[in-house]
Amino acid sequence: MSVSTAACDQSVCTPLPVLGRDVTVPLVTGGEVTYAALDYAASAPALQRVWDDVAAYAPYYGSVHRGAGYLSQLSTDLFENARGTVAEFLGCRPADQVVFTRSTTDSLNLLARALPAGCQVFVFETEHHASLLPWQDADVTYLDAPRTPRQAVETLERALADRDPHGPALVCVTGASNVTGELWPVRELAAAAHAHGARIVLDAAQLVPHHPVDVSDLDVDWIAFSGHKLYAPFGSGVLAGRADWLRAAEPYLAGGGASRKVSRRQDGGVDVEWHDSAARHEAGSPNVIGVHSIASACRALTEAGWDTLVAREQHLVRAVREGLAEVPEVRILSLFGDDAPRVGVISFVVEGWNSSHFAAALSAEYGIGVRDGLFCAHPLVRTLLGTDPQTQGECGAPEAAPGEKSLNAIRVSFGAGTPDEHVERFVKAVKELVRDGAKWRYRTEEGRCVPAV
């Protein structure tokens, strides 16, 4: 998997319209400024196109699958047509299923519930908790953090060579790190998995908003992602891929929609015949607005053109990395090194600063929203920081456990809706804070660093 490094023609390469682009926020030093949303890796703003599509549908909202009325039939068609849109967006194979869930976390927990008996799971310690933790009831092997893409493949190959070759196995790997933004060698990892009789699921939460993804080309068995990172923040996600394990598993949730036929037995019990389709794991009234928004985002990104979107994002990545490189006190976190291809996610620490304090000052004094902490990837951030977790800092990390007050970093992330001005303001603010210090005093309140009043 590679990232285009083509130059971005700024006359045509403009940010996509998103909600909130004109929102102003107050500064502790006085006045207001347009908010610079640079926390896309947590939740991206809604594309204006997505919002418009949802607003156009909202008056026609109705129950899905079980209504005879016009609005119900319209909503059902909208919901089911979204499967085709998502499948096309992901390059799914004809026999693949597209299951709608709540999020990436929900998708991977669903797959964990569908593992066949005796399944061995292999997952790198570098994963987000959404893909690190769902497998604890399985026979799971956690792999050490690799320092090169080649080492990642070699580590997996060694682990798979030692497994029981007769039983089922699953590899779970990210497409792009939520901490460093670095792209992982997904195609090569998939080849290694399949060579050893294992399957592979791709956590694409940080990949699909930034980069074209083709399930068939990457040869992964499943892919999971969240709408709220794909400019569709309405509480839906996707698990797409091979149907056999999903059909063989008990429904993720038992209830209406998952069942094809329910009947009472003479002994007083209940017999249930479950659906074999994606509906098997979609019990209850589905989030049709969330699903519609994902399909809308898929269409919007495709129509905008991935070459243009990727080129513009790489322009922003270079601007941030080059700007931070001019500040000796800043250390950018990386597994694979400076030359590794990456998406618009960059984490760093600043010498002499607690990261929570620095992030709070960016927000309160410059109107810039970033994230600080361990980013729901605690083992990876600990590996990258390599610091003493017992060292206390001025303002505690909100995600850190007691005794780990200084073990945190700052993450800046951006995407299709980010204007140049936001990253320029961010780089300027970092330089000013390092040079001059904060203009305001800060204190810890309920675990978060906030301006003192």
Q: What residues act catalytically?
A: 376
Please provide residue 308's backbone torsions phi and psi, each rounded to the nearest 5 degrees.
Answer: -70, -45
Q: Please say whether the beta carbons of 414 and 316 come within 8 A.
A: yes
* SS3 sequence of the chain: CCCCCCCCCCCCCCCCCECCCCCEEECCCCCEEECEECECCCCCCCEHHHHHHHHHHHHHCCCCCCCCCHHHHHHHHHHHHHHHHHHHHHCCCCCCEEEEECCHHHHHHHHHHCCCCCCEEEEECCCCHHHHCCCCCCEEEEECCCCCHHHHHHHHHHHHHCCCCCCCEEEEEECECCCCCEECCHHHHHHHHHHCCCEEEEECCCCCCCCCCCHHHHCCCEEEEEHHHCCCCCCCEEEEECCHHHHHCCCCCCCCCCEEEEEECCCCCEEEEECCCHHHHCCCCCCHHHHHHHHHHHHHHHHHCHHHHHHHHHHHHHHHHHHHHCCCCEEECCCCCCCCCECCEEEEEECCCCHHHHHHHHHHHHCEECEEECCCCHHHHHHHHCCCCCCCCCCCCCCCCCCCCCCCEEEEECCCCCCHHHHHHHHHHHHHHHHHCCCCCEEEECCEEEECC
Half-sphere exposure of 258 (CA within 13 A, CB side): 17
